[in-house]
Structure 1
Amino acid sequence: MHRATRGGVRVLGHGDTPALERLLATDPVANVSVSATIRARRSAGPGKGRNGAVVLGIDGDNGLLAACWTGSNIIPVGATPAQGELFGVAVGAMRRRVASIYGDAEAVLEIFDATGWTGARDVRADQPLMAITQASGVQPLAGARLSRSGDFPRVEQASAAMFTEELGFSPYAQGAGQYRERVRGLINAGHSIIAVDPETSEIMFKAEFGAVSPEVVQVQGVWVRPSHRGRGLAGPGMAAVVERGLQLAPTVSLYVNSYNTAAIRTYERVGFTQVGTFATILF
């Protein structure tokens, strides 16, 4: 990797943690996923094991200029397109198996191009990054609440249905145990929100906080049961999600595919505004 980039990219160590935290703080909305992970790990240093996640860095005269989380997902932090290209060369030389590259659109697309990787399952080049910092003017959905441990079976079912619909394959294909632990962890952390149909006891709306930092929560997994679509649940449901999210951090964010115009209109009606553009490469 070092040779491939002619020394332009290095692996960060524990001593780089303060510098990485300062870089993450320059855009807390875009960087919330990495911020939450680094906060949990309490270090910018490499993870355990041969395939443990690492953070790559590019330095300038005044210290760390850009970084790139490199694990099962590749996530650039503060990278320009040129720096994204360097990270792509470095990641390609590492020959890692990854699930996705996501983050700032320009950097992500440059990383992908520079890796030389082929066979991407999907390239989502335009995903508005949206945020809200105050309660929605839409009335929150009555009955929306945090999931409880007893809700796990139906939350798992709804989450798997949403995953399959969104990505085109079952989440269990990548490891059923790992997926179930992810769902259970969101419930236990108080990061899973549901609304249940009082007649059928089925989950009719759900969403999760996929990443949480003191500054930002990022909403993921927004889903309305197909049989309940067209009933006006999405806007009030998201208003309830915002209400809960603002109890955890001053900003609630999400990103959405640009072709999902109905979802974008709903988010705008709730009060979200676009603050950036993401891209996601799925493998």
Structure 2
Amino acid sequence: MLTQTTTRVLDPSELGAALAILESEPVTNAFVTSRVQVAGLDPWRLGGEMWGWYADGRLCSLCYSGANLVPICATPEAVRAFADRARRTGRRCSSIVGPVESATQLWRLLEPSWGPAREVRSNQPLMVTEELPHAIEPDPYVRRIRKDEMEVIMPACVAMFTEEVGISPMAGDGGLLYQARVAELIGAGRSFARIDDGKVVFKAEIGAATTQACQIQGVWVAPEFRGRGLSETGMAAVLRYALDEIAPVASLYVNDYNTAARAAYRRVGFREVGAFMSVLF
């Protein structure tokens, strides 16, 4: 029995069907789900296209194509279809990010035409927790960043991004898009830091938030303060905000080679439940 399959850009009227797929894996899909819940499927508001893979007229898998290329609940056949579409349109993204199995397949298909990558991070453990830490006391000095503290937090954000990604977010457009994103998180009350004498000692953001799950990102400790346990007490403080005010599950993903961070997150109560892969261009 033959199955009719096709791939196309989703129409805004298909929002309900898209959300049903996204919300079937609320932790894994938190980043894209949070964007779709706010912006819908209009490419201009969403900041990219949402591709759909259909079997016999039924939407089965998704792929977000914006600054990142993100396969979502994608079967191997859907990944092949998304790779074909991505090859035809050419690379417009700065990274491929997704669950390790589908992202690995997607990159294997795209590498001959899109490669080489600047860096491939093939195993980034996905960690979650639903509980506040029992053994770690939250840092009482970690708090929400105010809108008038943008100039205080930006150098720390730039330092974290450059250290993590390997390039400065201020390159290209002079940092306009990155500054807008930082300001957006501050405005939403999802940017947190400990500031001592005007200097950021610890910072983190809740980068994605839905009613089901949220994702913590941008965890950073100033180099001269590392090794003092501030990442653990700071994360415990951010986790308190996340679980009390935003969602019942908090998640993050971390590079597998960052053994110190993985150990710190485990001490705060996170456990590994899967893995992501990132391809950076």
Q: SS in structure 2 opposite 1:250?
A: coil
Counterpart in the other structure of 1:189: 188
How many corresponding residue pairs? 273
Tell me, yes or no, if structure 1 residue 266 matches structure 2 residue 264.
Answer: yes
Determine if contact 2:53/2:62 at 8 Å carries over to the other structure: yes
Kindly state the Cα deviation for residue 167 of structure 1 after the two structures are TM-superposed: 1.5
1:104 corresponds to which letter in structure 2? Answer: P
Determine if contact 2:95/2:279 at 8 Å carries over to the other structure: yes
- In 1, Cα distance between the equivalents of 2:185 and 2:47? 22
Q: Could you tell me which runs of 5 or more consecutive residues in structure 2 were left unpaired when the two chains were aligned.
A: none
- In 2, Cα distance between the equivalents of 1:142 and 1:174? 38
Choose which of 203, 212, 215 in structure 2 pairs with 1:218: 215
Counterpart in the other structure of 1:57: 52
- In 1, Cα distance between the equivalents of 2:9 and 2:67? 16
Determine if contact 2:97/2:278 at 8 Å carries over to the other structure: yes
Q: SS in structure 2 opposite 1:173?
A: coil
Kindly state the Cα deviation for residue 62 of structure 1 after the two structures are TM-superposed: 7.4
Are residues 157 and 210 of structure 1, via their aligned partners in 2, closer, same or farther at CA, if it must alter by over 3 Å?
same
Determine if contact 1:24/1:31 at 8 Å carries over to the other structure: yes
User: Which residues in structure 2 correspond to 1:15-94 (within 5 Å)?
Assistant: 15-42=13-40, 44-47=41-44, 53-61=48-56, 63-94=58-89
Kindly state the Cα deviation for residue 96 of structure 1 after the two structures are TM-superposed: 3.6
Tell me, yes or no, if structure 1 residue 234 matches structure 2 residue 227.
Answer: no
Large movers: runs of 4+ above 6 Å = none
Counterpart in the other structure of 1:8: 6
Report the TM-score, using the length of structure 2 for normalisation.
Answer: 0.92
Counterpart in the other structure of 1:179: 178
2:259 corresponds to which letter in structure 1? Answer: T
Determine if contact 1:13/1:46 at 8 Å carries over to the other structure: no
CA offsets per residue over residues 18-63 of structure 1, 9 Å max, x none?
A: 1111001110001011111111112x34437xx9621111112472
User: Which residues in structure 2 correspond to 1:88-103 (within 5 Å)?
Assistant: 88-103=83-98
Determine if contact 2:6/2:55 at 8 Å carries over to the other structure: no
Counterpart in the other structure of 1:3: none
Q: Could you tell me which runs of 5 or more consecutive residues in structure 1 were left unpaired when the two chains were aligned.
A: 1-5
Q: CA RMSD in A?
A: 1.7
